[in-house]
Amino acid sequence: MTTMTIAKAINAGLRTALTDDPKVLLMGEDIGELGGVYRVTEGLKREFGSMRVVDTPLAESGIIGTAIGLALRGYRPVCEIQFDGFVFPGFNQITTQLAKMRTRSDGMLSVPVVIRIPYGGGIGSVEHHSESPEALFAHTAGLRIITPSNPHDAYWMIQQAVTSQDPVIVFEPKRRYWLKGEVDTSQPAGDPFTAHVLRQGTDATILAYGPLVPVALAAAAAAAEDGHSVEVIDLRSISPIDFDTITSSVTKTGRLIVAHEAPIFGGIGGEIAARISERAFLSLQAPVIRVGGFHMPYPIARVEDQYLPDIDRLLDALDRSFAY
């Protein structure tokens, strides 16, 4: 076991991927000399050179488009989008080219491109630096989307993304980059597209992913002080979604709270609520309750704490669920 932050775990995972496969290369704005805004790629250019850790122009469409071409020639590019709100100039390349190429070619072509996107708020930043756009990409078939919530998952999931034959978007919770945890470099984190039950419970289930997983665990611990046994699930994969694990939990607990930073309206939580209502209707003792951001542009830094879901909002959702 090694203790490291999520940022260092991703760095170590990328180093392993670069070492294991000479066709792996990194691309992004300021990722080489600077090591990226969050220093996730720090030191990799010195170790592997400027031909494999490439500082690109400020052009997200160009980054993704170039990566698609490289993938078609047998490379495995890993693209870093500097901030979540900067991905949209490359949205067309991702949704109309990257996601469709394999189907368009009837399986003859694959584009194993990884796109790393720091996402979410909580860092006191300015506009376009605290978005949660995961639902926009999850709606597009052909993309796999994962998000780690701890260093162990971060270390292994980035490597698993690199070896995938399908394009993978890795949403990295930026306010958790400095979260420390144990990483077992000898024990893989399992299938990256399955959910993990982090805390067992019998009275209700809280489902979260990425930056809200620590909040969900804290809310479950607080609920335990009031005598409620709350199960916590880390979704891990946003597309595909592991509905089997969620259904199994809800069948046991009878209640489900879905939490994410993104706005509730049109969010991933709505799809999960609908599916679980179909799959576990007779087990539900209360409606599925969603906790998330408000349907508004991300607010200025001094009031973002009122926008982001916190322990109190999760506990309030649990209280409303237990009231049924």
Residue 274 confidence (pLDDT): 98
Q: Are 52 and 24 in contact (CB under 8 A)?
A: yes
pLDDT digits (tens, 9 = 90+) for 263-273: 999 999 999 99
CB 170 within 8 A of CB 147: yes
303: Cα separation from own chain's centroid = 24
- Structure confidence at residue 189 (pLDDT): 81
Task: Report the distance separating Cα 68 and Cα 256, nearest Å.
Answer: 39
Strand-pair partners of 208: 234
* pLDDT score, position 188: 86
Q: How far apart are CA 112 and CA 236, in angstroms?
A: 20
Q: Tell me what pLDDT residue 207 has.
A: 98
129 is catalytic: yes
- pLDDT score for 137: 98
Domains of the chain: 2-183 (3.40.50.970), 196-322 (3.40.50.920)
Q: State the DSSP H helix or E strand holding residue 104, giving kind and residue range, or none if neither.
A: helix 101-104
**pTM for the full model?**
0.96
* Residue 154 confidence (pLDDT): 98
Those residues of the chain that have pLDDT short of 50 are none
Q: Catalytic residue among 129, 152, 228, 260, which?
A: 129
DSSP H or E segment with residue 252: helix 243-253
